[in-house]
């Protein structure tokens, strides 16, 4: 198959594109900065293209001749013209229209747990829900599948790696907003597996799959687990909601927005599944503690050494 992956140079995208290319698919990966996809250049069937996917004309050209389009594009915070509305909602509409115009019937779309166009508490989740609505509205002309993953972990993630860096910088002291918010973290390769199975199983057409890992942790437990595996000191100070909101406002003004008011609002919705999407797809998701030691702390070095030994034996 020929597949166009939007967001293919990101955390999930890099893993998915690699998997698709190794399976023999031709994969087109557009990016405003193709240098972000340097890891993909070694794959013979990957075409990195300098393009602005938000430009409808450019998007139409990118989709021409493709069998499938996969939309992984997403942001956690707004920056300049990259708003939730433009990156999530408008791009969702453009993908639906562009796929129809280019006669690309198969569309796989990445959303998020808690996405609702009208009732979600944060702009992030509302924009994700609105994007879903655009994809569904094109159903007579598109064979779509929507995925709603919980928070995703793995090498190069912005979850466990970020907490590890914060703990290192702070000497282990971490004031934590919404410490009792609940998560069911899912491993990035399990998310990739869900997309791969959807491509080959037609019964996934028209379906929405919530994707969660096998355990539910509070945010505090997630941070403590990260610290334990990375061998870092950890002293968490759970913040009352009033203080947490002030923290979000202040940190939202800092470069890179390490935490924002919209992030805070998203944390008021638990990132856990109401539907066993992994089970419906026949996927047994990895446990957090089965994967974390492979890329955090001293255990990561040992795991990499063991892998190299197995590779040459």
- In DSSP notation, 203-251 reads GGTT-EEEE--S--EEHHHHHHHHHHHHT---EEEEPPHHHHHHHHHHH
Residues contacting 304, CB < 8 A, separation 6+: 294
Helices 11-22 and 188-200: crossing angle, nearest 10°?
50
152 with 186: CB under 8 angstroms? yes
Whole-number pLDDT of residue 289:
96
Give the tokens for residue 57. 């004309």
**Domains of the chain, start order:** 2-149 (3.40.50.720)
Give the tokens for residue 44. 């013979």
Residues contacting 213, CB < 8 A, separation 6+: 150, 184, 185, 186, 187, 190, 285, 286, 287, 288
147 with 108: CB under 8 angstroms? yes
Whole-number pLDDT of residue 256:
85
Q: Could you tell me the sign of the dihedral formed by the alpha carbons of 75, 76, 82, 83, in that order?
A: positive
Residues contacting 123, CB < 8 A, separation 6+: 78, 84, 85, 262, 265
Whole-number pLDDT of residue 298:
65
Distance of CA 180 to the CA centre of its chain: 22
Residues contacting 32, CB < 8 A, separation 6+: 50, 51, 52
Continuous segment of H or E residues that includes residue 26 = strand 26-31
Distance of CA 138 to the CA centre of its chain: 23
Furthest C-alpha separation in the chain? 57
CA-to-CA distance for 288 and 136, rounded, in angstroms?
Answer: 32
Which three-class secondary structure state does DSSP give residue 50? strand
User: Cα angle at 294 between 28 and 25, to 5 degrees?
Assistant: 20
Residues facing residue 176 across a β-bridge? 238
Whole-number pLDDT of residue 185:
99
Give the tokens for residue 125. 């989740």
Q: What is the pLDDT along the chain (313 residues), one digit of tens a residue?
A: 999 999 999 999 999 999 999 999 999 999 999 999 999 999 999 999 999 999 999 999 999 999 999 999 999 999 999 999 999 999 999 999 999 999 999 999 999 999 999 999 999 999 999 999 999 999 999 999 999 999 999 999 999 999 999 999 999 999 999 999 999 999 999 999 999 999 999 999 999 999 999 999 999 999 999 999 999 999 999 999 999 999 999 999 998 898 999 999 999 999 999 999 999 999 999 999 999 999 996 645 444 445 445 444 4
């Amino acid at each position: 198959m020929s597949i166009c992956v939007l967001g293919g140079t990101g955390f999930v995208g890099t893993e998915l594109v690699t998997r698709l290319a190794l399976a023999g698919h031709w994969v087109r990966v557009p990016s405003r900065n193709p240098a972000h996809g340097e890891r993909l250049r070694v794959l013979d069937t990957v075409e990195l293209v300098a393009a602005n996917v938000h430009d409808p004309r450019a998007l139409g050209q990118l989709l021409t001749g493709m069998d499938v389009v996969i939309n992984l594009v997403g942001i956690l915070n707004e920056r300049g013209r990259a708003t939730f509305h433009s990156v999530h909602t408008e791009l969702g509409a453009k993908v639906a229209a562009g796929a129809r115009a280019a006669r690309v019937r198969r569309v796989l779309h990445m959303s998020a747990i808690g996405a609702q166009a009208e009732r979600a508490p944060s702009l992030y989740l509302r924009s994700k829900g609105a994007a879903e609505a655009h994809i569904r509205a094109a159903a007579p002309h598109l064979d779509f599948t929507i995925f709603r993953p919980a928070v995703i972990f793995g090498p190069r993630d912005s979850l466990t790696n970020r907490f590890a860096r914060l703990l290192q910088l702070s000497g282990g002291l971490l004031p934590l907003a919404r410490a009792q918010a609940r998560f069911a973290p899912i491993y990035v390769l399990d998310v990739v597996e869900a997309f791969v199975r959807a491509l080959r199983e037609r019964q996934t057409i028209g379906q929405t799959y919530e994707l969660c890992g096998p355990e539910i942790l509070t945010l505090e437990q997630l941070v403590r687990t990260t610290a334990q595996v990375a061998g870092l000191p950890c002293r968490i100070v759970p913040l009352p909601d009033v203080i947490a909101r002030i923290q979000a406002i202040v940190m939202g003004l800092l470069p890179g927005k390490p935490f924002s008011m919209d992030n805070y609002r998203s944390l008021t919705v638990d990132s856990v599944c109401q539907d066993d999407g992994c089970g419906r797809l026949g996927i047994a998701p990895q446990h957090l503690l089965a994967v974390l030691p492979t890329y955090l702390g001293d255990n990561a070095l040992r795991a990499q050494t063991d892998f190299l030994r197995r590779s040459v034996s």
